[in-house]
Amino acid sequence: MYYLIFFGFFAVLLFYGISLYNHLVSIKHAVAKAWANIDVLLKQRHDELPKLVEVCKQYKQFEQSTLQKVIEARSQVQDARQKQDISALGQAEGMLRTGLGNIFAVAEAYPELKANENFMQLQTRISSLENGIADRRELYNESVNINNVQIEVFPASIIAKMFNFVEKPLLEFASSEKADVNMKQLFS
């Protein structure tokens, strides 16, 4: 009789442990999927940026320093993306977004550039990708938050430690990305 109670308790405990493990695996894959969604959009934007820079370069008087900053930031984003270095990606994204904002702001001073159909299409496409990245970033951070909470709560923390489930970093962009474009600085 006691063996049945012990066996029943052990079976329930085992089932619960397996259930917790499967839940943690599911969350881990949700984080990976959310990252993959961001990665696709980052790659698409990475492929569009050289086209934008080339269109802007056609206008000789267009600010070369602004274009150079975008090119450098694009390279840093690509490096961080390939290494899956979330904190470096956040910093590089902030620089890139600031640079893109500057390009679009400076373009206001070039009516012929603003009238260029390629520029307008690229601006629309890149803005659309930026919005998609922001949406996917929100989903990624939510998935990371769920992951990080689940591996800390008891009793899931026991299973998480046993099977090396780890905390994931949030994707946070640099504070410069949140700042307004300084129009005086751009045109002085």
Of 87, 99, 62, the residue nearest 177 (C-alpha): 99
CA distance 101 to 27: 35
With a cut of 60, say whether residue 106 has pLDDT above it. yes
Containing structural domain, residue 128: 2-186
Please count the other Cβ atoms lying within 10 Å of the Cβ belonging to residue 163: 13
pLDDT of residue 183: 42
Looking up residue 29, the CATH number of its domain turns out to be 1.20.1440.20
DSSP labels, 119-135:
HHHHHHHHHHHHHHHHH
Confidence (pTM): 0.78
Domain tally for the chain?
A: 1
Of 94, 56, 115, 67, the residue nearest 172 (C-alpha): 94
pLDDT tens-place string over residues 32-86: 999 999 999 999 999 999 888 888 877 766 778 888 888 999 999 999 989 988 8
Give 136's pLDDT tier (boundaries 50, 70, 90). Answer: very high
With a cut of 60, say whether residue 184 has pLDDT above it. no
Q: How far apart are the first and last CA of the chain?
A: 88
- What integer best gives the mean pLDDT of the chain? 86
